């Protein structure tokens, strides 16, 4: 009897975990996409600053640029470069 109760508890916990995963699937996917955008954006920001030292391009790392790059990723870096270019001309 104790084995049957343990099996029932394990099955109930598994079903509850599955329900929680189904409910949270979209928000988790969105958070992972945001994290990937942030990582790729900051890598491209680092590469632009590193390679840009040779040709005179640099992007400051501040909280506004970090927010733009974090949300938009590589297109955010392109947006910052475009805004910097427009400010210089």
Q: How does DSSP classify residue 73? A: S
Q: What Rg, from alpha-carbon coordinates, does the chain have?
A: 23
6-65 pLDDT, tens digit per residue, is 877 888 888 888 887 777 777 777 878 888 888 888 888 888 888 888 888 888 888 888
- Look at residue 2 in the predicted model and tell me its pLDDT: 65
- Look at residue 19 in the predicted model and tell me its pLDDT: 80
62-78 pLDDT, tens digit per residue, is 888 888 888 888 888 88
SS (H, E, C) 24-58: HHHHHHHHHHHHHHHHHHHHHHHHHHHHHHHHCCC
* The overall pTM is greater than 0.85: no
- Look at residue 67 in the predicted model and tell me its pLDDT: 82
Question: Would you say 42 and 34 are in contact if contact means Cβ atoms under 8 Å apart?
Answer: no
- Look at residue 22 in the predicted model and tell me its pLDDT: 77
Question: Would you say 72 and 41 are in contact if contact means Cβ atoms under 8 Å apart?
Answer: yes
Helix (H) or strand (E) holding 18: helix 2-55
């Amino acid at each position: 009897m104790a084995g049957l109760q343990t099996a029932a508890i394990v099955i109930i916990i598994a079903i509850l975990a599955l329900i929680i995963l189904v409910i949270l699937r979209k928000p988790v996917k969105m958070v992972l996409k945001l994290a990937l955008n942030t990582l790729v954006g900051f890598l491209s920001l680092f590469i632009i600053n590193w390679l840009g030292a040779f040709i005179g391009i640099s992007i400051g790392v501040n909280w506004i640029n970090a927010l733009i790059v974090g949300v938009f990723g590589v297109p955010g870096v392109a947006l910052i470069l475009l805004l910097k270019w427009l400010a210089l001309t």
